[in-house]
Amino acid sequence: MERLTVIKVGGALVEHAALLDALLNDFARLEGKKILVHGGGRTATAIAAELGIESQMVNGRRVTDEAMLRVVTMVYGGLVNKNVVARLQALGLDAIGLTGADLNVIRSDKRPVKEVDYGFVGDVKAADAHKFAQLLDMGAVPVIAPLTHDGRGHLLNTNADTMAATVATALAPHYDVTLTYCFEKAGVLLDADDDRSVLPVITEADFKAHVAAGVISGGMIPKIENALDAVKKGVKKVIITSAANLTGGTTIQS
């Protein structure tokens, strides 16, 4: 099967011109088909503040009322997405910016109100593998903004990590898929303060042993659980790494 790399880059990267340029250069050099999924939360918070709109976070997730939805639509769908597309085009990649609404490539449902009303937030249901394959076959490089729609004309703020995992999983039957999460550390570390202590490979058995031993803890646990879930659903490997080292870091495999 042909190789496909799905890379998720978070807000901190997207918002530093030099880091982003370095990352996009590395991305442009990756072999095979590729898809980029980006965040943009810090810029959204900054633009919202300039517009006098306060950002409210609950459990690390943004509460999205109508005013905040306008901001994230502008920032994720416009400012961040179109600038990344223009930069990738300059690097010779035939980038195309997409939200889940475009070509209906990623569908979601508005999150039900439980203890918290997150507002216009989408929970991802499915990605359209056929549409992505058509675009990839055209030579296009999809650049995905963390927005979806409810199918009734309303946009929804959506988690970029989940969108990346859903796209990778949907395409796993058609491609040899690597899903790469770029974050601020070099990978999964034995010593959180030492970037040289990267675990090169984690299997499910390793993961359980490391959690039991207290080596892996906190926010890294759900990250790796999601990675193992993607691997179980057919994604060849999931990499957790820094933007400076797209092909290094920690590989999660079954």
Indicate the residue among 151 and 173 with the shorter CB distance to a copy of itself: 151
Indicate the residue among 62 and 236 with the shorter CB distance to a copy of itself: 62
| Contact call for residue 81 and a copy of itself (CB under 8 A) | yes
- Quote the least distance from Cβ 48 to a copy of itself, whole Å: 11
- Read off the tokens for 27: 């991305």
Task: Please give the Cα distance from 149 to 156 (Å, whole number).
Answer: 5
| Contact call for residue 103 and a copy of itself (CB under 8 A) | yes
User: Site size for a copy of itself, by CB under 8 A?
Assistant: 42
Q: Assess contact for 157 and 68: CB atoms under 8 A.
A: yes
Rounded to 10 degrees, the C-alpha dihedral 77/79/85/91 comes to -160
Indicate the residue among 65 and 229 with the shorter CB distance to a copy of itself: 65
Task: Please give the Cα distance from 176 to 155 (Å, whole number).
Answer: 31
- Quote the least distance from Cβ 118 to a copy of itself, whole Å: 18
Q: Between 131 and 170, how does the x/- string for binding to a copy of itself read (CB under 8 A)? A: x--x---x-x------x-x-xxxxx---------------
Task: Please give the Cα distance from 96 to 250 (Å, whole number).
Answer: 29
Q: Assess contact for 163 and 98: CB atoms under 8 A.
A: no
Span of 54-62, 68-76, 161-169, 244-252 interacting with a copy of itself by CB under 8 A: 68-76
- Quote the least distance from Cβ 250 to a copy of itself, whole Å: 31
- Read off the tokens for 90: 């300059």
Phi, psi of 129 (to 5 degrees): -60, -40
Q: Give the largest CA-CA distance in the chain.
A: 50
- Quote the least distance from Cβ 145 to a copy of itself, whole Å: 8
Neighbours of 211 (CB within 10 A): 15
Task: Please give the Cα distance from 149 to 108 (Å, whole number).
Answer: 6
Task: Please give the Cα distance from 118 to 112 (Å, whole number).
Answer: 8
| Contact call for residue 98 and a copy of itself (CB under 8 A) | yes
- Read off the tokens for 144: 């995905």
- Quote the least distance from Cβ 72 to a copy of itself, whole Å: 9
Q: Between 18 and 57, how does the x/- string for binding to a copy of itself read (CB under 8 A)? A: -----------------------------x--xxx-----
Interface residues with a copy of itself (CB under 8 A) are 47, 50-52, 70, 73-79, 81-83, 85-87, 89-91, 94-99, 101-104, 131, 134, 138, 140, 147, 149, 151-155
